[in-house]
Amino acid sequence: MQYRPTSIKLAVRSFLRVYADRAGIQQNQGFFIMPKRKSDTKLQEDGEPASKKKVTAEEGTKVPVEDKKVDNGTSAETNFAPTDKKTPDGRSSNLKVSAWNIAGLRAWMKKGCLSYISKEDADIYILQETKIPSDKVPKEAKVDGYFTYWNDSKEKAGYAGTALYSKEKPINVTFGIGVDKHDKEGRVITAEYEKYYVVGAYIPNSGRGLVRLDYRQEWDADFLTFLKGLDAKKPVIFCGDLNVAHQEIDLKNPKTNKNKTAGFTDQERDGFTKLLNEGFVDSFRHLYPDKKDMYSYWTYMGNCRAKNVGWRLDYFVLSKALVPNLCESTMRSNVMGSDHCPIILELAI
């Protein structure tokens, strides 16, 4: 039996009308209009998602209205001035450090986010996931008044990578942790100053299906040895995307992610606990032990950032010797440009 073109068109239109009725899609002058996603859509967020998947979880707390966002690394509502908070003995901060997983230098710069460096006016910046070979860094990435250093992935171009911007020229800058199998992806950059070390790190993700969890545990053990070696010489400021939500309070949906999603397994959390037990302090939780809904990462899926369905994956960790110098540790959750936001540390050194 043969079908005329007109009959085929009519059959297709009939099918589309039935499908539209079932899916709740409105029709307007022959066009099908997809409905807006309902505000109570439930999503489970992933650690560093590689693909979309159907999941269920609890809806997040919406970001406060005053935290309006712009996509160029700045926000009119953000006060970038040094904090007025002081150390317990009354000293004001004189050192500001910023860390940000920028999810690719080229894309970050195209959004105008390099302006964040001048707006924040930090003394030191640690960028993670720069995704660029050091010899391909555009000259525009140079910022007046800062010395810059780049550690890139040696095995896979356009992957991982870290960078350092510093107003003061460090005594020394080194790449990696001295373990060959860990030092091929440009994940660690260390700057030595007179009174302290700054270590910037992009810790390996355990991956979809936790395929790299065993490797992650090896990394955590070797990295702790590296940090302890530095701490034996002078205090350490360790920061970056650590790819772990340490406590249930550090992600919106702990129950649906526990031991299923990279960043919230017992092994990863225990690794961070061990680090803290070896003489280091989570600066944010030291100041705000019970503060909820404070995150530094949101998946792009499901409008999670607007609903504040997030994870606290980014940290400033301090040697205990620096805790008396701590003035502030916080997140710039209203600064856009990546799926992570910048985090800030202020010390009186």
Task: Tell me the mean pLDDT in the region 207-233.
Answer: 98
Confidence band of 76 (pLDDT split at 50, 70, 90)? low
What CA–CA distance (Å, rounded) separates 236 from 249? 25
Residue 113 confidence (pLDDT) above 60: yes
Task: Tell me the mean pLDDT in the region 239-263.
Answer: 98
Per the document, the length of the chain is 349
Tokens 């702790």 belong to residue: 224
Q: For the chain, what are the domain ranges?
A: 95-347
The reply to whether 144 sits in an annotated binding site is: no
Confidence band of 75 (pLDDT split at 50, 70, 90)? low
What CA–CA distance (Å, rounded) separates 129 from 162? 6
Residue 329 confidence (pLDDT) above 80: yes
Q: How much is the pLDDT for 72?
A: 63
The reply to whether 340 sits in an annotated binding site is: yes
Q: How far is CA 260 from CA 52, 207, 316, 343, in A?
A: 16, 11, 26, 26
- E strand intervals along 167-246: 172-175, 188-192, 197-202, 236-241
Tens-digit pLDDT profile for residues 167-182: 999 999 999 999 999 9
Q: How much is the pLDDT for 53?
A: 35
Task: Tell me the mean pLDDT in the region 104-120.
Answer: 96
Residue 332 confidence (pLDDT) above 70: yes
Q: What are 149's strand-pairing partners?
A: 164
The reply to whether 339 sits in an annotated binding site is: yes
Q: What is the CATH number of domain 95-347?
A: 3.60.10.10
Q: Please, what is the end-to-end C-alpha distance for the chain in angstroms?
A: 86
Confidence band of 280 (pLDDT split at 50, 70, 90)? very high
Edge to edge, the sheet with strand 172-175 lists 172-175, 188-192, 197-202, 236-241, 314-319, 280-282
What CA–CA distance (Å, rounded) separates 216 from 36? 40
Sorted by sequence, the CB contacts under 8 Å of residue 278 that are 6+ apart come out as 224, 227, 228
The residue type of 319 is S
Sorted by sequence, the CB contacts under 8 Å of residue 67 that are 6+ apart come out as 75, 77, 333, 334
Q: How much is the pLDDT for 13?
A: 53
Tokens 């705000």 belong to residue: 288
Torsion angle of the four alpha carbons 104, 316, 279, 177, in this order, in degrees rounded to the nearest 10:
20
Confidence band of 242 (pLDDT split at 50, 70, 90)? very high
Candidates 192, 212, 211, 208; CA nearest to 200 is 192
What share of residues in the chain are helix, strand, coil (percent, to 5)?
A: 30, 20, 50
Q: What percentage of residues in the chain have a pLDDT greater than 70?
A: 78
The reply to whether 72 sits in an annotated binding site is: no
CB 63 within 8 A of CB 333: yes
The reply to whether 94 sits in an annotated binding site is: no
Confidence band of 155 (pLDDT split at 50, 70, 90)? confident
The reply to whether 129 sits in an annotated binding site is: yes
CB 317 within 8 A of CB 282: yes
Candidates 317, 316, 233; CA nearest to 275 is 317
Residues involved in catalysis: 202, 241, 340
Residue 120 confidence (pLDDT) above 70: yes
